[in-house]
Structure 1
Amino acid sequence: MSDVLDEAAIGTIRDFILANTGILFDDRHTHDLCRHIASACTDLKIPLETCVQQVNDSSFQVRFLEILVNYITIGETYFFRDKNLFLFLRDSLLPDLIRSRRQEHKLYLRIWSAACSSGEEPYSLAILLRYLLVDVDDWDIYLLATDINQHMLNRAQEGLYSRWSFRDDPLIPIGSYFSPTPDNRMKIDDSVRTMVRFERMNLIHDSSFYNALGPSSLDLILCRNVLMYFSPEQSGEVVSHLVTSLRTGGFLIVSPQEIGIVQGQFIRMHHHGSVFLHEKVDQNNLVAAEKISPSLSTTFYSDESVPVTRVIEGDLFHEPDIHDIPDFPGDIFLDEENKPGDSSGVVYLLEPDDEGFDRLISENRLEEAGKMISQSAPQSSPHWIRQMEILIRAYAGNGEYDKALGWSDRLIAADVLNPRPYLLKAAVLDEQGLYNHSLQSLRQSLYAFPDYLPAHLAIAGIYKKTGRPDLARHHYELAIHILDSKDEDTILEETEGIPARKMKDMIQMLLGG
């Protein structure tokens, strides 16, 4: 394969995929990309040489892309995925919306499940609406579900699911909405299936909601776990189109890992626990919305703090040899049956073994140290977080950057409202020179806690060294504003004992006065 798909050919196809799907394959995933290309060529019954030669031919591109997206798009989903989100939809957002429409005597709802894969998400929404609306047949419900992968859409329209699609708590009784089939699958009831309209859609090329209802008409858009695979430029364009599709007061919901991607002049973010919502705000009401937005809260951990003295000079990480974008390590997922006390599965360590962990780190036995963390309980405790951060630094020091960042993402997932893990991830990306990605992670840190001083200083450092002094100054001034609210002698958290007064003086020096 390598003889046929040389670097130039791979680059050509990579650019073709990026332009047509927004999905970015970096150098770490070249092997995966080659495998997907080979699979597509096998389906098309053509040799690799033909694929490379014809990739710029418009008539070939249509067929090639249609097959290729079946391999490069991810179909991992299940019913009521993300329990906290669907609890919020069940108990707050949808009941409030329904109540409002009843008061207005306008019984309609407009919802879009973008990148719906095999249909579990839109069907979960349809089931939830049938559960909440006793008079559902009196409502005009438009529930659009779209995906670029026609194979997945065909599966969704068929409405047949294995038991694996029901692996999380459904939150409401769902037995009446499914019937078993002889091959041990579950078929969705027609009363639910007919509520969802499935369409093939490429979010890069035609993501705006244009149909008989017109644009700017949607109450709710779910677009989760897809923006993260796009390039920064194209994810921004998609977000702009999605927001255009919302009515004023409508909500866009993405995954917690994607909140830093959603930005715009007319977007206001709210959060309820771990659920983040981006509301489309009328321009005239934007100032008022700023005043009433709910405040954000978080939990701080002080062990192994990132010294702000390094951040202020644009060095984000105490140990600098870190690069690359992560994959999750393959050994950190535990079977659901393997719970504490179950001798047949994983044995959990109920108390942290710091001495044993530190010895493994010192002996560079990092895989064993990782397994020790995976078998620890409770997770997200200060000891667990301390060990995670040490492991991340150790992997980075070894140059095993994918594992370092994989564990960084796991640390973020443990508490999406803790701003510090985003700072750690930003440091990794910054060291590689991936400044846009680093800024994205730092913005997520500020979403979690808007007055998080290290994040403002880190953003300023990136802007300073990338030749954007005005933006750097803005964040330095924000940092000073934060420090003005503190007593001058207050020792700042996550510093090496620096008081607020001295930190302010250091920033003033960087500002030139």
Structure 2
Amino acid sequence: MPQAVLGVSEDALSRLRDFLAGQIGLQFTKERSRELERQIRAAAKEFGYANAESFIDWLVSTPLSARQIESLAAHLTVGETYFFRDKGSFHALEEKILPDLIAARRDNGKCLRIWCAGCSTGEEPYSVAILLRRLLPDLKEWNITILATDINPGSLKKGIAGVYGNWSFRDIPKWAMESSFRKRGDGLFEISPDLRKMVTFSFFNLVEDGCPSLLMGNNAIDIIFCRNVLMYFTAEQAEKVVCKFYRGLVEGGWLLVSPVETHQMISSDFFAVSLSGAILHRKERRDTLRKGDEESSAQPPLPPPRETMRLRKGSAVSVKNRPPAVPLPPRPPAAPPSNALSLYREGRYAEAERKIRSSLESGGIRGEEFALLARTLANRGRLAEALEWCGKAIDADRCNPRFYFLSATVLQEIGRMEESEALLGKALYLDPAFALAHFALGNLALRRDKGKASRKHFSNALSLLQGMEKESVLPESEGITAGRLAEIVESILGGR
């Protein structure tokens, strides 16, 4: 007979592990059987099953909706976090990464974009907001985007509320605690309103949803946090997610993962950089790093060379006491793209830009090419130029609602909310059934603390989406289907 672990047979857990790896991309080793059994019992109750094995039997034999998969994943991934977790990473941010970004942008747009992927209950993005307020005495003059995403609506709801207990503050600097929170009568602590407004919480599935996406706001990012998330994925899924991050970052952008996830970066195009005893990953050629960007190898964060693995030439990090890397099959050679749109879809934005500009030199007024160039520039972080080409697209075809929508999306990223709202209104005047415009207005209203208007726009979007074929791809959505966006809207409405 199969052995049981806490009442659930090993045979059932084995089938569950295979299902999670193959269908959802989550990886659980046999050593984590007790943890998995505990978590699946909690999930079974939510799904209406009193018996965990019966629930497992149902799971492995039933096609799950995206909503059900996300609900299951929320139970199987630990959301435990606290403020300023991982001192090395935050020290690197405070001493090097953010000061360099601030210096570079002070006379060039005063814009910073940060994404906390898998933000759980919000301690991480709020830590970033606290740090930025400390580093930017002229914060009000900056356009700061801190995007916080998760697949767990309950976690997002707590993050939006911004209320925490003592356990969340076990490693917070004293200055941060004193300046950023108000103690309530019930003993909990509430984050200050100015910091809450700096963070935008949003539902996002790292496996299913697209990046970069103007619609979701995860394009042209300067810094991505994704810590203690990749460790739950299979090697194949982790590689796909890391590839999305690479495309979503601007050139020179940073990806921060946890130390136990560093081994999952071996097949990526990132370069490892040691700063303040932490290993971070940069989207940039090593020969373009300025002198001093990488700490001296005389003081490596972890020893010795024979226990390291190469991420790229000359880029080594220690994997002592790390899980072994899972070998990945070699990537097949990619067929050369035939046009600018193919280059854009592959994330090869510099090449796409060159191809579009070369085409435009032949003359003529082509709104679609102008719009594609605008999207390409926006994904490279060149928002002012992107907005200029949006205007040219509108001038070329003033009856195309998609061009107004694109321009409105770029305006939101620049922080010009009233102008964005006006252009979205024009898009809806031209096409009242433009679901994405209703969705964008809902997000805009959320950012402006207009809860009633937000629900109205999201409800309008949902009503339109539910009347479409679920698998139909929405124009201007970067590949999002009507069914998928409907699930996102339902999660937003349900979470609030």
SS at match of 2:147: strand
Partner of 1:101: 105
Do residues 82 (structure 1) and 83 (structure 2) align? no
In the alignment, structure 1 segments of 5+ residues that lack a partner are: 300-414, 424-440, 469-513
Contact 1:259 1:444 in 2 (8 A): no
**Aligned mates of 1:83, 1:241 — CA distance in 2:** 26
Shift of 1:125: 0.5
Partner of 1:159: 162
Do residues 35 (structure 1) and 38 (structure 2) align? yes
Contact 1:417 1:449 in 2 (8 A): no
Higher mean C-alpha displacement, 59-68 vs 225-234: 59-68
Shift of 1:17: 2.5
Which residue identity is paired with 2:192?
D
Partner of 1:189: 192
Shift of 1:220: 0.6
Which residue identity is paired with 2:89?
L
Shift of 1:76: 2.0
Q: Deviations over 1:55-100 (max 9, x none)?
A: 2566755564344334321122111112232222223211221121
Do residues 69 (structure 1) and 78 (structure 2) align? no
Shift of 1:293: 6.7
Shift of 1:263: 3.8
Shift of 1:240: 1.1
SS at match of 2:107: helix
**Aligned mates of 2:237, 2:79 — CA distance in 1:** 21
Q: What is the TM-score when the length of structure 1 is the normalising length? A: 0.55
Q: What is the TM-score when the length of structure 2 is the normalising length? A: 0.56
SS at match of 1:205: coil
Shift of 1:2: 5.0
Partner of 1:218: 221
Shift of 1:416: 4.2
Q: Deviations over 1:249-278 (max 9, x none)?
A: 111112233223224564222212312221
Partner of 1:120: 123
Shift of 1:216: 4.8
Higher mean C-alpha displacement, 5-14 vs 241-250: 5-14
Q: Does the C-alpha gap of structure 1 residues 467 and 224 become closer, same or farther in structure 2, counting only changes over 3 Å?
A: closer
Q: Does the C-alpha gap of structure 1 residues 291 and 172 become closer, same or farther in structure 2, counting only changes over 3 Å?
A: closer
Task: Give 1:457-496 correspondences, 5 Å limit.
Answer: none
**Aligned mates of 1:232, 1:73 — CA distance in 2:** 16
Higher mean C-alpha displacement, 24-33 vs 218-227: 24-33
Partner of 1:145: 148
**Aligned mates of 1:79, 1:173 — CA distance in 2:** 10
**Aligned mates of 1:51, 1:267 — CA distance in 2:** 40
Contact 1:298 1:417 in 2 (8 A): no
Tell me how many residue pairs correspond in the alignment.
322
SS at match of 2:106: helix
**Aligned mates of 1:34, 1:91 — CA distance in 2:** 42
Shift of 1:241: 1.0
Higher mean C-alpha displacement, 287-296 vs 34-43: 287-296
Task: Give 1:81-480 correspondences, 5 Å limit.
Answer: 81-104=85-108, 106-170=109-173, 172-206=175-209, 208-212=211-215, 216-263=219-266, 266-281=269-284, 287-289=287-289, 294=294, 296-297=296-297, 416-419=301-304, 423=307, 442-443=309-310
SS at match of 1:203: coil
Contact 1:40 1:64 in 2 (8 A): no
Shift of 1:232: 1.9
Q: Deviations over 1:96-138 (max 9, x none)?
A: 211211122x021110011111110100111111222222222
Q: Does the C-alpha gap of structure 1 residues 443 and 249 become closer, same or farther in structure 2, counting only changes over 3 Å?
A: closer
Identity of aligned residues (%): 35
Shift of 1:173: 3.8
Which residue identity is paired with 2:169?
F
Q: Deviations over 1:312-345 (max 9, x none)?
A: xxxxxxxxxxxxxxxxxxxxxxxxxxxxxxxxxx
Which residue identity is paired with 1:96?
D
Which residue identity is paired with 2:43?
A
**Aligned mates of 2:253, 2:268 — CA distance in 1:** 15
Contact 1:296 1:448 in 2 (8 A): no
SS at match of 1:81: coil
Larger Rg: 1
**Aligned mates of 1:6, 1:168 — CA distance in 2:** 39
**Aligned mates of 1:253, 1:60 — CA distance in 2:** 32
Contact 2:184 2:190 in 1 (8 A): yes
Contact 1:143 1:195 in 2 (8 A): yes
Contact 2:94 2:131 in 1 (8 A): yes
In the alignment, structure 2 segments of 5+ residues that lack a partner are: 331-496
Q: Does the C-alpha gap of structure 1 residues 23 and 245 become closer, same or farther in structure 2, counting only changes over 3 Å?
A: same
**Aligned mates of 1:169, 1:292 — CA distance in 2:** 29
**Aligned mates of 1:44, 1:118 — CA distance in 2:** 22
Q: Does the C-alpha gap of structure 1 residues 41 and 251 become closer, same or farther in structure 2, counting only changes over 3 Å?
A: same
**Aligned mates of 2:188, 2:228 — CA distance in 1:** 26
**Aligned mates of 1:130, 1:63 — CA distance in 2:** 36
